[in-house]
């Protein structure tokens, strides 16, 4: 019984990391086939070490420890050989029953047979992208090349290489056309290479694009930004990550406090200090999400669940230490988490303790509403970050602040002809490519387009997304597949617990481009006929998978 409890504990580690109910975890299915990808496998390494005292590498999950059963046997052996805490000494926590899929071997055979015919078909159609990926891996260290790695689908794992972009379409090296449902991870709200962006770039190119001296376009962009979003001052950087980094630094400088509250549902880019997760084993503590990030980088961060009372309680009890509450107001990872009441509660709670509320609107800005989620729900954050859409395809990040929240960036405004001076103690801020003339030119063009189209455009696009997701949900129900399309504004995610790789590869084969992290974006360039093609690709994929007894 004690051993069973330990097995159950092991299952729970994987269930937590993979987002699966523990009862559905089959200990004989290879870990890499449970819907997990190699990044999720990394997430179990720390809890395994903490709970079982054994240091493992992801490589072992692909080699000798492919299933939970094999891993358990290994852990058991280790505890005997090394005199570590014997597995049987651990008090029982619960009763466990092995879960088995009744038809599991048949299913696996069916899948393998299908893959044996599918892989050559897919490789033949996208052969040049595959050849390119092979060469690239030797020279370019790119996390994209390993996302979703699983032994059985390894031969399908390569990003498409595309070199023609137009409207809602892209063309790959083999000359195949795709309806792009990735749209630059949400960047291309107006479609690929719209005429007004090309024109803005061409005009700027005529004048050159030097750095050093400032470009006058930056002020026009700042004025437009403040007019559309209602913010007071802005600062320009080159990416969303830099916007977050500087927003947090400005908030810490403005409040002279260090602590930051974050939410597990949010992604805020690749700055060390926001690559943090709540430690599931030690309540109230935070861990860095991967090796390479010193624990000290996340020491001043607490991570909560979106919607949790605990975050509000933390503010009430430790508010005087909190510099900022950082949140994606509707997370791109889970568009189902739409809760204006909670956002308002955070607004009030942070204001009452003098902490700044930072909305990360890098995806939702200009997309949910011209003024982003702030405009949609009528909630005013103190600092807001923008990225993606704002650059019109060029790399650009923006930090926007109300009142004096950004004054530590430059000491605050001062005037000529009097005795004023930069009176606010400055923090560090600077970057070679900040206010790049090409990015300023495209940002100006994008913002003029946002203003020209106005709220009618965002509302209509949001409605098209909502009805497309609803149609897909009907289709999923008619094929009895356990997928739910969840949308917010003009983006969507498909939520499923089972491994759906075969569906995604089928969609790509049928001319729908969806990237490895699978967030779907609509743009102004997507017409009904494009969405019809995507819908048909889903229906045809399901037909094929059903004919092979795979759904």
Ligand X SMILES: Cc1ncc(COP(=O)(O)O)c(C=O)c1O
Neighbours of 536 (CB within 10 A): 13
- Confirm if 223 and 422 have CB atoms less than 8 A apart: no
Q: Name which position in 362, 492, 500, 534 contacts ligand X (CB under 6 A).
A: 362
Q: According to the binding rule CB under 6 A, does residue 327 interact with ligand X?
A: no
Q: Name which position in 13, 237, 244, 288 contacts ligand X (CB under 6 A).
A: 244
Stretch that binds ligand X, among 87-95, 191-199, 240-248, 400-408 (CB under 6 A): 240-248
191 or 395: whose CB is closer to ligand X? 395
Q: According to the binding rule CB under 6 A, does residue 192 interact with ligand X?
A: no
Report the alpha-carbon angle 99-100-103, nearest 5. Answer: 155
Q: Name which position in 182, 241, 389, 506 contacts ligand X (CB under 6 A).
A: 241
Residue nearest to ligand X (CB): 240
71 or 346: whose CB is closer to ligand X? 346
Q: According to the binding rule CB under 6 A, does residue 267 interact with ligand X?
A: yes
Sheet holding 383-386, edge to edge: 233-237, 397-401, 383-386, 356-360, 322-327, 259-263, 301-304
Cα gap 510→278, rounded to integer Å: 40
Neighbours of 295 (CB within 10 A): 11
DSSP string of 452-504?
HHHHHHHHHHHHHHHHHHHHHHHHHHHTT--EEEEEETTEEEEEESS--HHHH
Stretch that binds ligand X, among 50-58, 133-141, 263-271, 508-516 (CB under 6 A): 263-271
- Confirm if 327 and 337 have CB atoms less than 8 A apart: no
Residue (of 156, 158, 183) closest to 170 by Cα position = 183
Q: According to the binding rule CB under 6 A, does residue 433 interact with ligand X?
A: no
Q: According to the binding rule CB under 6 A, does residue 47 interact with ligand X?
A: no
Q: According to the binding rule CB under 6 A, does residue 43 interact with ligand X?
A: no
For 257, what's the count of Cα atoms within 13 Å in the CB-facing half-sphere?
18
Q: According to the binding rule CB under 6 A, does residue 269 interact with ligand X?
A: yes
What number of chain residues touch ligand X (CB under 6 A)? 14
Residue (of 257, 261, 235) closest to 406 by Cα position = 235
Give min distance, CB of 239 to ligand X, in A. 4
Q: According to the binding rule CB under 6 A, does residue 483 interact with ligand X?
A: no
Q: Name which position in 30, 35, 194, 240 contacts ligand X (CB under 6 A).
A: 240
Give min distance, CB of 368 to ligand X, in A. 12
247 or 534: whose CB is closer to ligand X? 247
At residue 483, φ and ψ (nearest 5 deg) are: -130, 140
Q: Which of 5-44 are b and which e, b meaning 16 or more Cβ less than 10 Å from the residue's Cβ?
A: bbbbbbbbbbbebbebebeebbbbbbbbbbbbbbbbbbbb
Give min distance, CB of 157 to ligand X, in A. 21
Neighbours of 125 (CB within 10 A): 17
At 159 the three-state DSSP class reads: coil
241 or 389: whose CB is closer to ligand X? 241
Give min distance, CB of 344 to ligand X, in A. 20
Stretch that binds ligand X, among 72-80, 199-207, 358-366, 427-435 (CB under 6 A): 358-366
Give min distance, CB of 327 to ligand X, in A. 10
Stretch that binds ligand X, among 13-21, 96-104, 116-124, 262-270 (CB under 6 A): 262-270
Stretch that binds ligand X, among 200-208, 217-225, 233-241, 350-358 (CB under 6 A): 233-241
DSSP strand pairing (356-360 vs 322-327): parallel
* C-alpha 406 chain-centroid distance: 26
Q: Name which position in 149, 185, 209, 479 contacts ligand X (CB under 6 A).
A: 185
Considering only residues 366-425, where is the footprint of ligand X by CB under 6 A?
387
- Confirm if 389 and 236 have CB atoms less than 8 A apart: no
Stretch that binds ligand X, among 61-69, 229-237, 239-247, 436-444 (CB under 6 A): 239-247
45 or 362: whose CB is closer to ligand X? 362
Give min distance, CB of 550 to ligand X, in A. 32
Catalog residues that contact ligand X under the rule CB under 6 A: 185, 239-241, 244, 267-269, 328, 332, 360, 362-363, 387
């Amino acid at each position: 019984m004690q051993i069973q409890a330990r097995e159950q504990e092991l299952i729970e580690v994987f269930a937590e990391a993979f987002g699966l109910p523990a009862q559905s975890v089959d200990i004989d299915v290879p870990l890499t086939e449970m819907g997990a990808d190699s990044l999720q496998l990394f997430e179990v390494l720390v809890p395994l070490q903490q709970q079982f005292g054994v240091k493992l590498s992801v490589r072992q999950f692909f080699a000798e420890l492919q299933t939970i059963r094999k891993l358990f046997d290994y852990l058991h052996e280790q505890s005997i050989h090394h005199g570590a805490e014997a597995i049987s000494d651990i008090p029982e926590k619960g009763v466990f029953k092995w879960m088995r899929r009744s038809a599991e071997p048949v299913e696996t055979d069916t899948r393998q047979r299908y893959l044996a015919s599918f892989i050559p078909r897919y490789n033949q159609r996208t052969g040049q992208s595959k050849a390119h990926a092979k060469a690239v891996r030797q020279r370019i260290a790119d996390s994209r090349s390993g996302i979703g790695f699983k032994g059985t689908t390894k031969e399908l794992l390569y990003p498409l290489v595309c070199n023609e972009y137009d409207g809602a379409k892209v063309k790959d090296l083999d000359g195949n056309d795709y309806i792009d449902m990735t749209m630059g991870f949400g960047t291309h709200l107006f479609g690929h290479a719209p005429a007004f962006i090309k024109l803005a770039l061409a005009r700027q190119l005529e004048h050159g694009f030097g750095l050093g001296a400032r470009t006058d376009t930056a002020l026009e962009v700042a004025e437009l930004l403040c007019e559309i979003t209602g913010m007071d001052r802005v600062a320009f950087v080159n990416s969303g990550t830099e916007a977050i980094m500087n927003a947090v630094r400005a908030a810490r400088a403005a409040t002279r406090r260090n602590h930051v509250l974050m939410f597990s549902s949010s992604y805020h880019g690749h700055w060390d200090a926001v690559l943090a997760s709540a430690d599931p084993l030690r309540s109230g503590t935070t861990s860095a999400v991967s090796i390479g990030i010193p624990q000290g980088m996340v020491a001043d961060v607490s991570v909560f669940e979106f919607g949790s009372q605990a975050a509000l309680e933390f503010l009430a009890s430790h508010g005087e230490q909190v510099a900022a509450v950082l949140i994606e107001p509707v997370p791109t990872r889970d568009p189902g988490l739409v809760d204006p009441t909670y956002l308002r509660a955070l607004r009030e709670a942070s204001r009452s303790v003098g902490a700044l509320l930072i909305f990360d609107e890098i995806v939702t800005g200009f997309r949910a509403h011209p003024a982003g989620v702030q405009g949609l729900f009528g909630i005013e954050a103190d600092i807001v970050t923008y990225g993606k859409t704002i650059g019109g395809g060029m790399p650009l990040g923006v930090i926007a602040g109300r009142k004096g929240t950004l004054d530590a960036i430059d000491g605050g405004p001062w005037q000529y002809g009097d005795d004023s001076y930069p009176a606010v103690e400055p923090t560090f801020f600077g970057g070679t490519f900040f206010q790049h003339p090409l990015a300023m030119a495209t940002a100006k063009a994008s913002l003029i387009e946002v203003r020209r189209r106005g709220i009618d455009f965002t509302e209509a696009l949001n409605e098209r997304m909502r009805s497309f997701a609803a149609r897909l949900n009907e289709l999923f129900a008619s094929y009895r597949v356990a997928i739910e399309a969840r949308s917010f504004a003009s983006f969507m995610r498909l939520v499923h617990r089972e491994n759906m790789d075969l569906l995604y590869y089928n969609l790509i084969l049928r001319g729908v481009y969806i990237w490895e992290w699978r967030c779907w974006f609509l743009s102004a360039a997507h017409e009904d006929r494009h969405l019809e093609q995507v819908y048909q690709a889903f229906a045809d994929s399901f037909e094929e998978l059903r004919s092979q007894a795979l759904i």
